Amino acid sequence: MNRVIKVLKPVRSGRKSIDRGRALVTGGAGFLGSHLCERLLADGYEVIALDNFHTGKRYNLAGIARDAAFTCISHDVVDALPMDIAVDEIYNLACPASPPHYQADPIHTFKTSVLGAINLLELARRHNAKIFQASTSEVYGDPLVHPQPEGYFGNVNTHGPRACYDEGKRSAETLFFDYARTYGLDIRVARIFNTYGPRMRPDDGRVVSNFIVQALRGDDITVYGNGTQTRSFCYVDDLIEGFMRLM
């Protein structure tokens, strides 16, 4: 857990203009975060990526590390953020979404969702920044309704091995909407389902990577249950496009 922020300064590439303001992306070195950073830079933002690198990887940012409009900060959102990081938009993608990764340290996973949300909401409040929360389909738990409308409150186990992630994300949503009601904060919340694409980790532990890795190895494909279950899939570029339109 990092107590001191370390700024990894990029090599300046000669980029001259910033058009859209400054965006902070937490979890910026992760699968989704790195794609979001690339899109924001392409759209003319100055981008600050913040990551503790527990599951995010620096090589995910290799293609943009030399961009003059990009800065990477090594920091854990559980720890207090300096309030002088002036930003126009905040995208909170900080939390491992893979079951093997978030179950490895369930207490820290829950803290990441809850304390991370509070720290970022306070930063947004300080700078009057628009803020986005990457939530999850897991807020529905083991749903009894298919497909799930946004008004469905779910069927969630509050004390099982997945609860650290599911309940953490539900709590973060609560905080976001309470900050919006209490302080008039401009918030966005997206409940993400199953995303796939470049930079997915082979040890992700979810269905797309599992199927692909098993097929490449010539192993039998593992299907849990009786095979009648459904999944909603989204390609990473389409998901990032959705983020941009939502903001």
Pick from 204, 247, 170, 149: nearest CA to 32: 204
Q: Which of 165, 183, 196, 224 is catalytic?
A: 165
165 classed as catalytic: yes
Cα 132 from Cα 120, distance rounded (Å): 10
Nearest-angstrom CA–CA distance, 51 and 65: 14
- The answer to whether 31 and 60 are in contact (CB under 8 A) is yes
Check: CB of residue 175 under 8 Å from CB of residue 182.
Answer: no
Ramachandran sector of residue 128 (left: φ over 0; alpha: ψ -120 to 50; beta: rest): left
Question: Which residues are catalytic, by number?
Answer: 165
